[in-house]
Amino acid sequence: MYQPNHHDFQTLIEAMPICTILHDAQSKDILWANTAALSALGFTLEELIPLKAPDMTRDAPKYKRSIGLRWLERAARSGQRTIEWCYRSKAGVEILSEAVATLVHLDGRDVLMVQFRDISREDKVKRDLIHAEEARRVSEQQLEYLARYNAMGEMAVAIAHELSQPLAATRNFIEGALIRLGDTHSADQGVHWGLQSAVRQVEHASTIIKSVRDYVVKLEQSAERVDLNELLHETQYFISLRAEPSQVRLEITPSAEPLMVHCERVLIGQVILNLAFNGIEEMSGLPVERRVLRLRACRDDGVARLSVEDCGRGIQAVAQEKIFDGFFSSKVGGNGIGLALCKNIIGRHHGDIWAQNLEPCGAVFSFSLPLVGV
């Protein structure tokens, strides 16, 4: 039976691909290293022996000399200890390693045999896996959002379809009632006004519904050339219906020149309404004299810009990133859909939408649309 002799053991250790360094268990000084360790680190044995741990480790706190010494100390006490350690070669290359220190008794003294192997490739694979997992999670979230968004679109079409009939009937009934009232001399002017307003609301609802259907089917079908100032003017009535009960004063500033854009007018109108309604809601807690909502249209570097400015608390820091992404609302009973819809509508019109906080208070929400030739 073959019995390796002393010389054979040395040959075996020298031939082993695993890097091995021997440290004195007491002083932790390096005593010896095998060929694999010397070639991995690029030092000769004479160069390596006087080196101390900090010369071989990178500056990360995780690889501090004191931590390395503690690891060796524990190994000396318990017999064996493993650590993730970073060696540095003579050329300055960092070698992320898994290192095992084992206490052995050699030549009448306690020695720590450290065996280490390069795990930088495994570490990269691990990091790549973590990144891939993170990317998968984000894309899953986006997919879920898109699915919900898509479902919303389908629901909108279904609702648009279902509502158009009763709305048309309501309008007919109200108009019929108006005609009858017109015949009666005693008709109350207030009743007349109320019914006419109701007809306008129903007409507006019908136009929104029609445009939602048109929009979902194909944007181009219903897009037209519109002056943004005109749109601002059209929405003013609906904004005032909300502003008045909330005691919000409106300041509307159209531009001096026409701002011709190519758009689906009712949808861009909805964007203006959503922004204005948010501003009005935002100021509900302010003293009455400070409740002012400013809407401005202007030409700005080749685009038409519309901004809606309020004097509220401004956008909260936690909300900054997510307000346009949908399903974020800081309001009791808010859906968090208004701004996401605005972003979608403006995006499909090749425009931009953004928000800024104002000093000392308030926020301004703006959108821009490409100008088209008059």
Ligand X SMILES: Nc1ncnc2c1ncn2[C@@H]1O[C@H](COP(=O)(O)OP(=O)(O)OP(=O)(O)O)[C@@H](O)[C@H]1O
Site for ligand X, rule CB under 6 A: 274, 278-279, 282, 310, 312, 314-315, 319, 323, 328-331, 334-340, 363
Q: Is 338 in the site for Mg ion (CB under 5 A)?
A: yes
Question: H helices of 184-253, where?
Answer: 189-217, 219-222, 228-243
- Residues in 277-316 at the binding interface with Mg ion, rule: CB under 5 A: 278
**Which partner, ligand X, Mg ion, none, binds residue 48 by CB below 5 to 8 Å per kind?**
none
Q: Which of 24, 10, 11 is nearest to 114 (CA)?
A: 24
Which residues make Cβ contacts (< 8 Å) with residue 144, sequence separation at least 6?
Answer: none
The residue (of 278 and 366) whose beta carbon lies closer to Mg ion is 278
The residue (of 44 and 330) whose beta carbon lies closer to ligand X is 330
Q: Is 344 in the site for Mg ion (CB under 5 A)?
A: no
- Residues in 47-66 at the binding interface with Mg ion, rule: CB under 5 A: none
**Which partner, ligand X, Mg ion, none, binds residue 42 by CB below 5 to 8 Å per kind?**
none
Q: Residue 178 Cβ, how far from ligand X at the closest point, in Å?
A: 32
The residue (of 338 and 362) whose beta carbon lies closer to Mg ion is 338
Please check whether residue 112 is in contact with residue 23, taking contact to mean a CB–CB distance below 8 angstroms.
yes
Q: Residue 328 Cβ, how far from ligand X at the closest point, in Å?
A: 6
Element at 82 (helix H, strand E): strand 80-88
Q: Residue 333 Cβ, how far from ligand X at the closest point, in Å?
A: 8
Dihedral sign of CA atoms 220, 224, 229, 233 in order: negative
- Residues in 249-278 at the binding interface with Mg ion, rule: CB under 5 A: 278
Quote the CA–CA distance of 263 and 305 in Å, as a whole number: 14
Q: Residue 176 Cβ, how far from Mg ion at the closest point, in Å?
A: 36
The residue (of 26 and 335) whose beta carbon lies closer to ligand X is 335
Q: Residue 344 Cβ, how far from ligand X at the closest point, in Å?
A: 11
The residue (of 95 and 340) whose beta carbon lies closer to ligand X is 340
The Cβ-side half-sphere exposure at 312, using a 13 Å CA radius, reads 23
Q: Are strands 303-309 and 260-263 parallel, antiparallel or unpaired?
A: unpaired
Please check whether residue 157 is in contact with residue 212, taking contact to mean a CB–CB distance below 8 angstroms.
yes
Q: Which of 77, 124, 70 is nearest to 96 (CA)?
A: 124
Interface contacts to Mg ion, rule CB under 5 A: 278, 338
